[in-house]
Amino acid sequence: MFEKQLVGLDIGSTGVRAARVTGLDEEGFAIIDRLAVIPMRSDAFVSGKVRNKLIVTEAVKKALKSVGARSGYVVVGVSSPEQGVSRVALPAAVKPQERTSAIKSMGVTVSPTVPIAEGVLSANFVREEQTADGKKVAALIVGAAMQSDVESLSKICKAAGYEPRAVDLSGVATLRALVRDLPTSRDAAIIVDVGATTTTIVLRDGLYLRSIRSFPGGGLDITRAISAAAREPLEDSEKRKYAMRLSTNSLQNQTGYGLALDEEEDLKRLSSESSVEHAMTLAAGTLIDQIAQAVEADAGSVATRYVALCGGGAQLRGFKERLQRRLGVEVRLGQPWAHLARTKSNLDYFHNGREDPRLMLSLTTATGLALWRDIP
């Protein structure tokens, strides 16, 4: 059941994004009536860590005010690489309120990046199962994040004037936003969320969440490579990045300039453009290799036939095709708004999403955080 005006808050390296859910329509689709994207300096929040509290707090305050958030009704996402999930079985007799402490006392490693003594755990019940020797156990999906990250995000919300209702793993929220867009079969599905400085891989094995892996690196690495090659500010390179297309041939577009190759000025321009395209291709290739290695490590022998791509970095032209070729499985752009209710108050957002798909993809995590109760 949704509470009124629950707001999902996604803090990223390039900005703060917020989405407000006000309930469900008659067909069970969530109603999101307000969205906000507040740009922010890329060095204020890096790889899920607050670097400049003042700048981040001000951006959070603007985003939450813009969507009409209420204190106590904000769910903020943890996006640092130090997070993860694991399947854990506890004796069925363990009471729900005692599950977290029981897991800690067992010394279970939920995530190799989160020491049990320094982590915050959340245990979600999946189903009751029976072991080979006939004992009943509760199968749980346990999420883990660093206590320091959770406290840091909570303090930011409070400093902005809003008491957080919950802190959730961004990877879980992303899956929640896209769960209706994934195949309903028991085949494994993978979500790749390409942020500015952090990329998150979420593996759903059949009907259940299996793993979350985040690593430093994302679309900003590509922007920086372009900026260095073009010798221009990052802001200009960000715009240039989305106007270009990844290719395997750095001189593929040389005839498109309408220039005579024997003219010295034209050769210089072609050389510069070629250098920029080459730099972009190399940076994107490195990121794609990192994604592929993470996917292969997490999926293992699980048959994976579908990858959903989201995040602001997903809209780089040619990125989806290159990733699909590297993984050897179908890759599609995620559709976080495909199964949301259309109302008079949010039609403009859907229209803007069609006009600028990056807007839609960049709001995936915020949408999933706003759907906090709809646990996948």
pLDDT digits (tens, 9 = 90+) for 306-317: 899 998 888 889
Residue recorded with tokens 């072991």: 131
DSSP 176: H
- Is 90 part of any domain? yes
Q: Which amino acid is at 374?
A: D
- List the one residue out of 25, 30, 302 whose CA is nearest residue 180: 30
54-68, 252-266, 269-283, 319-333, range with the lowest pLDDT: 252-266
CA distances from 261 to 256, 268, 278, 311, 317 (A): 12, 10, 19, 39, 27
Distance CA 374, CA 376 (A): 6
- From the list 330, 324, 334, 323, the residue with the least C-alpha distance to 357 is 334
Residue 167 has pLDDT above 60, yes or no: yes
**Residue 256 pLDDT exceeds 60:** no
With respect to residue 227, please indicate whether it lies within any of the assigned structural domains.
Answer: no
- For residue 99, the model assigns a pLDDT of 81
What is the arithmetic mean of pLDDT over 325-329? 91
179 pLDDT higher than 50: yes
Of 204, 234, 224, 202, nearest to 215 by C-alpha is 202
Q: Under 8 Å CB-to-CB from 186, ≥6 apart: which residues?
A: 206, 207
Which tens digits make up the pLDDT trace of 210-244? 888 888 899 999 999 999 999 999 889 988 998 88
pLDDT at 284 over 90: yes
* Top-confidence residue, 175 or 259: 175
Most confident of 93-102, 203-212, 235-244: 235-244
- Where helices occur in the chain by DSSP H, the ranges are 53-66, 99-106, 147-159, 170-178, 219-230, 234-243, 264-299, 319-327, 347-355, 357-362, 364-370
Q: Is 16 contained in some domain?
A: no
CB atoms within 10 A of CB 281: 20
Mean pLDDT, residues 145-154: 91
Percentage of the chain modeled with pLDDT above 70: 81
pLDDT value, residue 143: 82
Tell which wins on pLDDT, 373 or 59.
Answer: 59
Domain count, the chain: 1
Contact (CB, 8 A) for 367 and 9: no
Q: Is 46 in contact with 13 (CB distance < 8 Å)?
A: yes
pLDDT of residue 266: 46
In-domain check, residue 116:
yes
pLDDT at 374: 41
Say yes or no to pLDDT of 58 above 50. yes
Cβ-Cβ contacts under 8 Å for 303 (sequence gap 6 or more)? 187, 188
Look at phi and psi of residue 327 and say left if phi exceeds 0, alpha if psi is from -120 to 50, else beta. Answer: alpha
Mean pLDDT of 5-18: 91
- Of 45-49, 290-294, 353-357, the poorest mean pLDDT is in 353-357
155 token code pair: 């303090």
* Range of lowest pLDDT (8-22, 53-67, 294-308): 294-308
Q: State the pTM of this model.
A: 0.79
Residue 130 in any domain: the answer is: yes
| Res. 254: pLDDT tops 50 | no
pLDDT of amino acid 261: 43
- Tell whether 89 is covered by a domain: yes
The span from the CA of 9 to the CA of 375, in Å, is 17
Total residue length of the chain = 376
Give the domain range for residue 94: 84-141
Instruction: Kindly report which listed range (30-34, 185-189, 369-373) carries the lowest average pLDDT score.
Output: 185-189
Within a domain: residue 221?
A: no
* pLDDT score of 96: 82
Q: Is residue 95 part of a domain?
A: yes
